[in-house]
Amino acid sequence: MTERDQLAAEYALGLLEGEDLLAARGRMANEPDFAAQVAFWESRLAPLLDEIGGAVPDEALWQRIAAEIETAPGGEVVSLQARLRFWQRAAAGAAMAAVGSVALLVLQPAPGPAEPALPGPLVASIPIGDTPLRLGVTYLPDRQEMLISASGLTADGVHDHELWLVPPQGELRSLGVVRPGREASMALDPDLADLIQDGAQMVLTREPLGGKPVGQAAGPVVAQGAFRTVG
């Protein structure tokens, strides 16, 4: 497993903090392959996490942990934090290994007709003008869900930007207002999802705060890009 796989899985599990988290968000915005890898792990690991029931630790346990941390020398606290990070990474590795094991089982020959392969994700990395900034967009066909990473963008307090799908025929279809500095996940209507294919074009327009006003034309196009299949 590569360093990119490990980082993508840890991002999908919400284990990253500080500079590691910022670095991963930057790669989400600028590297379509990394964004697709994150989407892959989110789609595979999320069902595993959904099956884990919630549990509330006893209040006395929390009080004991807090007391031990308060009385521990600084070096021991650092050691505890390092061990916590180790077990978090170990948990991520175990989860990825579990996914890999399931994948191996699924790939074993079985009698009867083969199951049709699930469609792979589609990604787009949209450059913003002449800047090094990019808007990362990933579409997961099996879940009809789209992920947008705008972690490299900043708000100006005056405008919003809206992302549009350009269908082969007909009017632009809005994919929503892009929130600078954030990652967003949204489910798409089936009729809109059916329009997203390899090569499908998108444009980003500058709009008033809140997005395009009803009854008015879309604002000026500031960026454009296209989906491509990751396979």
Who has greater pLDDT, 65 or 142? 142
- Give Dmax over CA atoms of the chain in angstroms: 68
CA atoms lying within 13 Å on the CB side of residue 180: 15
pLDDT of residue 173 exceeding 90: yes
The answer to whether the beta carbons of residues 193 and 212 sit under 8 Å apart is no
Instruction: Assign 149 to helix, strand or coil.
Output: strand
Instruction: Please give the DSSP secondary-structure letter assigned to residue 168.
Output: S
Higher confidence at residue 178 or residue 131? 178
d(CA 37, CA 138): 10
Distance CA 220, CA 206 (A): 6
Residue that has been written with the tokens 């913003």 in this structure: 128
Residue type, 105: L
pLDDT digits (tens, 9 = 90+) for 179-222: 888 888 889 999 999 999 999 999 999 899 999 999 899 999 98
pLDDT bracket for residue 34 (50, 70, 90): confident
pTM above 0.85, yes or no: no
